[in-house]
Structures are given as structure tokens and as C-alpha cells.
């Protein structure tokens, strides 16, 4: 059954159902006299005639030609799949053409699929026909010549590339194209979903009630992230049944691993409701879209964040509050700005209750050098989740932490929990300031402020040594290399798909390295530096001191950042200049108003941004 016929049948069934409901209501809701008086019989007949006319016009409409993404041709290989044979489209980039095969594809069973009235194709000088078997193996190349009716002949070299261990996800949108979805993230389509494991077994399948783009700055990348919503809850790759899932493109991360590393680490640490995820090769309408991370969505629901009467909050940039106030609910508090993600229609009373809670938490954190205040705080928040958040903050050094994608929730026990974690593509050195590994790139948040408390600090030391120190070491020594081996073949295909300068955004945040191998090596080295920094700060007091740079003018989104300086060393001048540029200041002042002068750091220091003219006056 082709897609057009299927849509016509669905349209007809929808009209019949609607008519049935309409007539059912007319039959039982009106007496014959009422119907006659209101002209019901004539109205119904006219309405049905109108529906029939619309259905006839719909059936006569020509099937719109699918708009292919740049580089793709309507030349395909048919791949045998238990869930229904799939067609993989040809991708051409300059003088090289590729078929990107899923891991389960059997090379000896690949069949050419194309319209011989539209194309003329030869491989290795031999004409090939629709239905012929492809005489080429993965890794091999052969000369390919093809011409579309009315267009120039294209000469290129054809190469088969194949993934290795990853599952493949096939999504068909009803339009047959990504053009509409990629125009705007508010655009939606319906479609179908099929996930096939590397051994060829079908993992999951279902109808999608919604496919749409997602992300803020990441939506500007040519390789986009998407959200999908099943018509019914579906278990995908053993992660539990749910309707909503996310396909993260990792389009700004050369390693494609930062999100996966932090999500998996958070789960092993026991972060409440940490996101589960799995890599997959994703195909949209036969086009290979690349290597993606298929993730649970951060949301309240069964097998997600299971709370009944609590709230889910996400930290936001202050600039978003005014921009999105019409369609989002925001909470301003002494702890910062948050969007209320759940419940969607929060009452004014509940909103005020949350504000009072966040205000009191912020106040107790400020007072937490007092044992009484710290004990009161422990009765209000889950301390272990705050410890986990602090450790992941310091390890990942994600640039947007505490301003975006930082979640808190109130559970049924009445406490405030930190988590789950989300969106770490700008972590572990993937920022412009990556040369400064000991500079915290993120704004100070609740966990960092609480770390000033000697009581919380001791709890962090005890918990790190008992539960997380060995785990962090294992991630550095073996986990990152294991992930690299798992996705290597998929990344080779993804790299080719998105290698053109016009679409490649993998090094937009940090262009120090330009290959997957080098990017992973840098990620691993950065992870090790931050892990050892945490170990030293917690277990070797006095080895490092904290220098906090405070944006006194608050003219940007950046409120404060911290630098870890070894005892007896001076603050590097280039870091001070870098931060002065961000904070738009030209001098640094001690809290007592004195201007900072270079000197060995022998204790924690707090410096405020200032303007030279103001200081002189």
C-alpha cells in the first residue's frame, strides 16, 4: 500500500466516523418536530454532500513530490527488514557518492530501487536496473554514473559504509520530507517509527502522533535534534514505556559523547530519575540523518519522574522570562529564575508555595555555616542529590549550568531534590575558554554556594570517597574508550554526512581539534584533569584555593565564575583579561574596595568587577 492510498483511506475513515457522530447526535438529541423546525434533514443532507465533495477533491489532489535534503537522490537500496523492507537513499557529495547502511544490513541482499523512467544508472561501466542486486561490499568503491531525466550526467565514485553495533531507527513522516520540520521547531508532522537492532531483530515500532524539531541554539545547526511522541506508550531499547522521546543530534560536539558520558555517569551515581539513553543510526524517509542519542525526556510521568503533587523546575536565562512569559510560567526567587515544567497549569497558591520554598532554601544556604541552619536545610532538601549535582557540575564544567537545563523537583516526601541532569554538549572543555581547565565555566549555583558550608563540604568529602571516587576513575580509564569503540563505525558515516563546511558545526564551540579521534582524546584528557581537581580539592585541603570573580554590574547573564589556583601561585593574567571581557570591566576589586594587585594566592579570594573611572572618583 503506498502512502497516498493509505492517507486517503485514513481520511475516508475519519469522515465516516465524524458523520456517524454527527448523525448519532442528530438522531437522539432532537425530536422529529425539532429536526423539521430547524431544517435538520436538509442541513444534514447538505453537510454530507459537502463532505463528499471535499473527499473527492482530496482524492484528486496530486501526491506532492517529497523534497529531498541536499545531497540526496531518489536512488535507493532496498534493505530486508523484519519490520518491513527499508529503502536507503544515495547521498552524493562532490565527486563521491555513498550508501550509509545500518548495522543489520546483509550486503549480499541489497537491491537497487529506483524509477527507470526517471534515472539511467551504470556501475563500473555496467548498466543496472531496478530490482538488480548490488554487486559491491562495504568498504569497496566503484565508479558510478547516473543521469536524471532532463539533467546532466553525474560521474562519481560509489562507496558503501556500514555501521557496526548500533541499532537503527527509521522514521517516515507523512510528507516524506524533512523540509517542513526543519523550517521551524514549532512545525509538527505525524509519521511512523521502527527500531531494528544490530542483529536484525525488531526492537520497537509504532505510529508517531508528533515529530518536531527541538532545542534553542542547537536548532540552528543543520543537523537538528528532534522530539517524537508515540500514539501509545512504547518501550524503546529497554528504557521503559513512554510516549515522548528525544533524538539528540550532538551537533556541536566533535566527540558526540559528552551527553552520553554525563547521562550514564549520573545514572550510575544514583541521581534521581537520571536520563537513560542509547546511541542509534537514524534515518528519516530513507535519508541517513546521522548518529543520534535516543533519550528519555525529562518530564513527570510513569517511568520518568514519578511524583504526584510535586513540581518540576528548570533553571532559565533571565532573558527568557520576558520573551516567553505569554506561554510559559516562570518563578522568580532568591534562588534564581525557573520555569515551571510541571504542573503545566500551576495554581497561584502552589506557585507562591514554591517561591517561599526556594527563597527559604536560598536563605538557609547563605546561613549554612551555622550547624542549626544546615540541619534545617537537610530537613528541606535531599542533601545527597545536591552532592551529586555539585560533583557533576565540577566534573563536567558545563557552560550553561545554573542558567539553563538545570532541574530541581519537589517529591512526595516534601523535599527539594536536585536533578535530573540534561544537556551537556558544552561540557568537558567544549567551550571557547577550554584552555583554562581550572576555570569553572558555569555560573555559581545553589550547590556551589552550599559548598562554602564546612558541614556540607564534609558531607561531600565523605560521599565522594565512599561512592564516587572509584567510579570517576573508571570512567576516565576505560568507559570513554569503550564508548568510542561502540560508535566508531557510526561516527565514520556521520562524519561524511555532515562534513561539508556549509553544514559542519561540530567544532563551533572549540576548534582546537578537527577529527573524532582527537576530539575523544581531548575529552578524555579534560575529564581526567577535572576528576583529579575534585580529588585534590576534597582530599588535599590547601593544595588549591578558590578565586571567585563576581560580575558586580550584572550587565550580562554571567553572575560569577570561579578559578582554582594552586597555593602560592598567581592568578594568570590571560584568565583575568578573558573574564574582564565577559563582565565588561577593566579592573578587579577586593570586597573592601581595594584594587587587586598580582600576588601569590594563599587563601580563597573574592574579586568584584569594576570600572577604572569609577574607582578613581
User: What SS3 class is residue 95?
Assistant: coil
DSSP count for the chain of H helices, then E strands: 16, 24
Is it the case that residue 582 has pLDDT exceeding 60? yes
Q: Which residue, 267, 562, 273, 303, is CA-closest to 418?
A: 273
Report how far residue 335's alpha carbon sits from residue 314's, in angstroms, rounded to the nearest whole number.
12
Quick one: average pLDDT of 384-400? 96
Is it the case that residue 613 has pLDDT exceeding 50? yes
What percentage of the chain reaches a pLDDT higher than 70? 87
pLDDT in tens, 302-332: 989 999 899 999 999 877 888 887 878 999 9
Binned at pLDDT 50, 70 and 90, residue 42 comes out as: low
Give the pLDDT of residue 16: 43
How far CA 12 is from CA of 18, 122, 209, 369, 532, in Å, comes to 10, 43, 19, 70, 65
pLDDT in tens, 55-81: 555 455 445 567 899 999 999 999 999
Binned at pLDDT 50, 70 and 90, residue 554 comes out as: low
Report how far residue 180's alpha carbon sits from residue 406's, in angstroms, rounded to the nearest whole number.
31
Report how far residue 27's alpha carbon sits from residue 440's, in angstroms, rounded to the nearest whole number.
71
φ, ψ (nearest 5 deg) of residue 333: -150, 175
φ, ψ (nearest 5 deg) of residue 346: -70, 140
φ, ψ (nearest 5 deg) of residue 542: 95, -15
Mean pLDDT of the chain: 89
Is it the case that residue 290 has pLDDT exceeding 80? yes
Report the range of poorest mean pLDDT among 56-65, 404-413, 456-465, 470-479.
56-65
Helix axes 258-269, 480-497, angle to 10 degrees: 150
User: Which class for 18: exposed (0-12), middle (13-18), buried (19 or more C-beta within 10 A)?
Assistant: exposed
User: Which class for 210: exposed (0-12), middle (13-18), buried (19 or more C-beta within 10 A)?
Assistant: middle
User: What SS3 class is residue 482?
Assistant: helix
Give the distance from CA 74 to its chain's centroid: 30
- ω into residue 420 within 30 of 0, thus cis? yes
- Assign 3-class secondary structure to 173-221: ECCCCCHHHHHCCCCEEEEEEEEECCCCCEEEEEEEEEEEEECCHHHHC
Report how far residue 437's alpha carbon sits from residue 404's, in angstroms, rounded to the nearest whole number.
21
User: Which class for 414: exposed (0-12), middle (13-18), buried (19 or more C-beta within 10 A)?
Assistant: exposed
Report how far residue 365's alpha carbon sits from residue 359's, in angstroms, rounded to the nearest whole number.
10
Give the pLDDT of residue 12: 46
pLDDT in tens, 338-349: 999 999 999 999
Is it the case that residue 477 has pLDDT exceeding 90? yes
How far CA 70 is from CA of 28, 64, 102, 178, in Å, comes to 56, 18, 21, 11
Q: Which residue, 539, 607, 610, 525, is CA-closest to 570?
A: 607
CB-CB contact of 387 with 460 (8 Å): yes
Give the pLDDT of residue 5: 41
Binned at pLDDT 50, 70 and 90, residue 363 comes out as: very high
Grid coordinates in use for 209? 502522533
pLDDT in tens, 103-113: 999 999 999 99
What percentage of the chain reaches a pLDDT higher than 90? 74
Give the pLDDT of residue 320: 83
566, β-bridge pairs: 544
Where b means 16+ CB within 10 Å and e means fewer, 155-186 reads ebebbbbbbeebbbbbbbbbbbbbeebbeebe
Is it the case that residue 248 has pLDDT exceeding 70? yes
In the block, residue with C-alpha cell 569609577: 614
> Which residue did the predictor score with more confidence, 190 or 60?
190
Give the pLDDT of residue 502: 78
CB-CB contact of 338 with 330 (8 Å): yes
Amino acid at each position: 500500500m503506498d502512502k497516498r492510498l493509505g492517507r486517503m483511506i485514513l481520511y475516508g475513515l475519519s469522515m465516516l466516523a465524524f458523520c456517524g457522530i454527527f448523525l448519532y447526535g442528530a438522531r437522539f438529541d432532537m425530536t422529529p418536530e425539532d429536526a423539521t423546525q430547524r431544517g435538520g434533514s436538509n442541513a444534514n443532507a447538505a453537510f454530507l454532500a459537502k463532505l463528499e465533495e471535499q473527499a473527492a477533491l482530496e482524492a484528486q489532489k496530486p501526491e506532492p513530490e517529497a523534497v529531498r535534503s541536499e545531497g540526496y537522490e531518489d536512488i535507493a537500496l532496498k534493505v530486508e527488514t523484519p519490520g518491513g523492507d527499508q529503502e536507503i537513499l544515495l547521498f552524493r557529495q562532490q565527486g563521491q557518492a555513498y550508501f550509509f547502511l545500518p548495522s543489520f544490513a546483509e550486503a549480499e541482499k541489497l537491491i537497487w530501487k529506483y524509477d527507470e523512467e526517471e534515472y539511467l544508472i551504470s556501475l563500473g561501466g555496467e548498466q543496472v536496473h531496478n530490482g538488480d542486486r548490488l554487486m559491491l561490499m562495504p568498504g569497496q568503491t566503484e565508479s558510478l554514473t547516473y543521469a536524471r531525466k532532463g539533467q546532466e550526467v553525474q560521474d562519481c565514485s560509489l562507496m558503501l559504509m556500514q555501521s557496526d553495533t548500533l541499532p537503527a531507527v527509521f522514521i517516515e513522516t507523512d510528507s516524506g520530507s524533512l523540509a517542513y520540520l526543519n523550517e521551524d521547531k514549532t512545525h509538527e508532522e505525524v509519521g511512523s517509527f521502527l527500531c531494528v537492532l544490530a542483529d536484525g531483530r525488531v526492537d520497537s515500532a509504532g505510529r508517531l502522533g508528533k515529530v518536531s524539531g527541538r532545542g534553542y541554539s542547537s536548532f540552528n545547526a543543520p543537523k537538528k535534534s528532534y522530539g517524537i511522541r508515540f500514539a501509545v506508550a512504547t518501550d524503546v531499547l529497554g528504557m521503559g514505556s513512554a510516549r515522548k522521546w528525544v533524538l539528540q543530534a550532538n551537533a556541536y560536539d566533535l566527540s558526540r559523547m559528552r551527553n552520553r558520558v554525563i547521562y550514564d555517569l549520573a545514572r550510575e551515581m544514583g541521581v534521581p530519575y537520571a536520563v537513560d539513553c542509547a546511541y542509534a543510526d537514524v534515518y528519516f524517509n530513507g535519508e541517513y540523518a546521522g548518529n543520534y542519542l535516543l533519550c528519555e525526556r525529562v518530564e513527570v510521568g510513569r517511568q520518568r519522574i514519578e511524583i504526584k503533587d510535586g513540581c518540576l523546575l528548570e533553571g532559565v536565562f533571565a532573558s527568557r522570562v520576558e520573551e516567553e512569559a505569554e506561554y510559559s510560567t516562570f518563578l522568580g526567587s532568591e534562588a534564581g529564575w525557573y520555569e515551571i515544567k510541571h504542573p503545566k497549569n500551576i495554581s497561584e497558591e502552589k506557585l507562591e508555595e514554591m517561591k517561599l520554598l526556594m527563597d527559604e532554601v536560598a536563605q538557609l544556604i547563605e546561613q549554612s555555616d551555622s550547624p542549626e541552619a544546615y540541619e534545617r536545610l537537610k530537613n528541606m532538601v535531599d542533601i545527597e542529590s545536591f552532592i551529586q549535582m555539585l560533583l557533576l557540575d565540577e566534573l563536567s564544567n558545563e557552560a550553561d549550568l545554573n542558567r539553563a537545563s538545570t532541574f530541581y523537583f519537589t517529591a512526595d516526601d516534601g523535599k527539594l531534590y536536585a536533578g535530573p541532569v540534561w544537556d551537556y554538549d558544552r561540557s568537558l572543555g567544549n567551550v571557547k575558554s577550554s584552555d583554562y581547565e581550572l576555570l569553572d565555566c558555569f555560573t555559581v549555583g545553589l550547590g556551589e554556594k552550599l559548598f562554602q558550608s564546612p558541614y556540607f563540604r564534609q558531607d561531600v568529602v565523605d560521599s565522594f570517597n565512599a561512592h564516587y571516587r572509584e567510579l570517576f576513575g573508571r570512567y576516565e580509564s576505560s568507559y570513554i574508550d569503550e564508548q568510542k569503540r561502540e560508535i566508531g563505525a557510526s561516527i565514520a558515516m556521520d562524519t561524511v554526512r555532515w562534513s561539508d563546511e556549509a553544514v559542519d558545526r561540530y567544532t563551533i564551540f572549540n576548534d582546537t581539534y578537527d577529527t573524532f579521534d582527537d576530539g575523544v582524546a581531548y575529552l578524555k584528557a579534560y575529564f581526567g584533569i577535572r576528576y583529579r581537581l575534585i580529588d585534590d580539592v576534597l582530599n588535599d585541603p590547601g593544595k588549591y584555593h578558590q578565586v571567585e570573580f563576581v560580575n558586580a554590574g550584572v550587565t550580562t547573564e554571567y553572575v560569577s565564575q570561579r578559578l582554582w589556583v594552586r597555593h602560592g601561585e598567581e592568578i594568570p593574567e590571560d584568565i583575568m583579561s578573558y573574564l574582564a571581557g565577559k563582565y565588561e570591566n577593566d579592573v578587579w576589586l577586593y570586597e573592601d574596595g581595594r584594587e587587586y594587585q598580582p600576588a601569590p594566592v594563599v587563601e580563597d579570594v573574592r574579586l568584584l568587577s569594576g570600572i577604572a573611572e569609577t574607582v578613581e572618583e
